[in-house]
Amino acid sequence: MRRRLASSLRRLAGLALAPALCLMVWGGAGARADGARGTIRDAGVQLRWNYEKNSNHANDGLGQLTFEISDEASGNPLRYAPGQLAVWLQRQRPTLAEGELACKDRVKSLVSTGVGRRADIDLNTWRILSLNADRTLAFINPFVGLNNAKLESIVTLPGAPLAWAHAPSHGELWVLVGGAPARLVAVDTHRRQIVRTLELPGDGADATLALDERVARAWVALPATGRVAVLDLAAREPVWRGAPAPKVLAIQSVDTPDGAAVLSTHADARLLRWSADAAAAVPQVQRSWSLPQPAQRLAFSALARRLVAHDGQALLAIDLDGSAVRRLALGHPVADLAIVDEGRYAVALGGDRMSMVDLASGTVHAGSATVPGARRLAVTQRFVYAVGGDEANADLWALADLRAARVQPARILLGSAGVPREDGASLRRAIAAPDGAGLLVANAADRLIYQYAEGMMAPVGSYSNYKRTPLAIALLELAPRELAPGRYQVPVRYDTGGAHHLIVSGAGPRFVGCDRVALPLTAGQAERDAAPELKARLVEDKPLADTQRRIVVALSEQPPGGRSQPLTRVGDLTLLMFDKRSGWQRRVHLGELGPAGDAAGRYAAEVSVPRGVAYDMFVGSVSRDLPFVRGRVQGGPDAPELRP
């Protein structure tokens, strides 16, 4: 998989060298922007981009880039497969105009190897998230190749994990953990730490979690108390708002073209759709359906415009805009389902059988026996996998064969057999790889994460979970994702705002484009800008006996828009003397001369300096947050013209 990504990036770099791009330079006619939006045109491709800051009230360096890519002549949207659209952000640094790289050269440099050539913000990567039985969340970097040592971060959770949901546009992973009380915790996926912990409003036994990312709301179903509750994640002080939901079993968020549909299932076979108007005091039931049996595992078919579920014995096709419910008996139990071919087919699994159902006709298009005890499905670009109950084996079918009603299963080894377990809908140990062209499987018995190429019967590699038993794995995707044909979005997280170069490269059709984007300053930057500026001025540098010299430095601070004032009582001020030609350096403590008068804010030291050394001087102080790099000593009126 790593080789596939590297190959894609090298291919994008090759495209950047196309002759048609040689005339495209930074800030040329091909790119127009005002800092928050712009248009790039190249090789017949038009890309409109827009940057939006996160809607919360904090300047936390979080936002999202949206791209609309179309054919310049016809206006038709252009679609790019995963890995074929690369995006970088590079901080704009002072340079001469003639020293700026052409756009194609920037892409070539970024895809080349070497730490020094990395972008400040690389929007083409991903991580593996492992939710573990020891109450930890592991971040695994698949691009590191140091003897399989790929663990990047570990976050300790305050309870046993029950469910999780990712909000990419908010840079947060929400985890529902058990305990007394049960809690909902938010993990910052950039800083890798828990940033919020909220107690559930009631008994959290068997609670389930759903996330409506677009409107930043978290929903929980509380079967123990017969209620559902919603939380506004964007509020300064979020408060749970609850409503009665008798016999509720679970709650789930289903993506539809019109946004997320939040639905709850009930033991009395009702299915409820919920809404949460900001002005309403409690969540409201928007629509309800009466089903033959309680629904499970909800999904949406875009082609059929139907909600698809199962009731344990059959498939259900439900009209989200009406009341029609269609039940499709399959002749075998159902434990899991998946939607394939953009909603043309549903694949159902259970009772050691797999059925592919044509949702248009309501008939079984293809069927097959499966590995014993199979209860979980995984779907990649070209294959369907049925994972055995003990997770030691899986059967796979090529989607092309199933479309043609050909049943040709192949069995693959997934690892050591484990104890079958019933997990929540969000806890899955077999998932599609980021580009959809492979499978990642977490084996609880082996405590490893195996990687499979599409159609392969043996793993092509593995990732250590560091002797932790995985409950579930997921992907932290930091690359552009397709929202609609030709429309892509990628979350942006940064520590330092300001002017950045936006660099985009695509393949099939080819284009390379560059522009400028102004990222808002973070709260930390604003605090640093508002802090007084510390300055060090050389007052005296004179020779004493032999090689000794006396150095006197005046230290002052100047608030923004204010007058400079002497800075006194800095007890840890250190002088660094450095000769960049020979590498000689010396560090000595600077002692304060006097508290008042002309000597206020002056510090002195005596230091031995070898003859012939030409040195620069810097001061630093931990207590004043003054690193040497910002504490260069400037020559004052009493400073000598020349120093040896």
pLDDT digit string (tens) for 416-430? 887 777 666 778 999
Q: Place 25 in a pLDDT band, splitting at 50, 70 and 90.
A: very low
| 520 secondary structure, DSSP code | P
| 597 secondary structure, DSSP code | G
What confidence tens digit (pLDDT) does each residue in 221-248 have? 999 999 999 998 878 788 899 999 999 9
Query: With 50 as the cut, is the pLDDT of residue 622 above it?
Result: yes
Task: Give Dmax (Cα) for the chain.
Answer: 102
Confidence at residue 642, expressed as pLDDT on a 0 to 100 scale? 38
User: Domains (ranges, CATH) in the chain?
Assistant: 2-123+484-526 (2.60.40.3340), 157-290 (2.130.10.10), 531-635 (2.60.40.10)
Confidence at residue 637, expressed as pLDDT on a 0 to 100 scale? 45
What confidence tens digit (pLDDT) does each residue in 467-490 have? 899 999 999 988 888 888 999 999
Confidence at residue 385, expressed as pLDDT on a 0 to 100 scale? 94
Most confident of 60-74, 97-111, 365-379: 365-379
Q: Which long-range contacts (CB under 8 A, 24 or more apart) does 533-536 make?
A: 533/557, 533/558, 533/559, 533/560, 534/567, 534/624, 534/626, 534/630, 534/631, 535/564, 535/634, 536/618, 536/619, 536/631, 536/632, 536/633, 536/634
Confidence at residue 52, expressed as pLDDT on a 0 to 100 scale? 87
Q: Measuring CA to CA, which residue among 314, 315, 317, 324 is closest to residue 303?
A: 317
For residues 36 and 614, give the distance between their C-alpha atoms in angstroms, rounded to a whole number: 47
What confidence tens digit (pLDDT) does each residue in 276-312 have? 876 666 899 999 999 999 999 999 998 888 999 999 9
DSSP H or E run through 103: helix 103-111
For residues 638 and 635, give the distance between their C-alpha atoms in angstroms, rounded to a whole number: 8
More confident residue, 145 or 48: 48
Query: With 70 as the cut, is the pLDDT of residue 596 above it?
Result: no
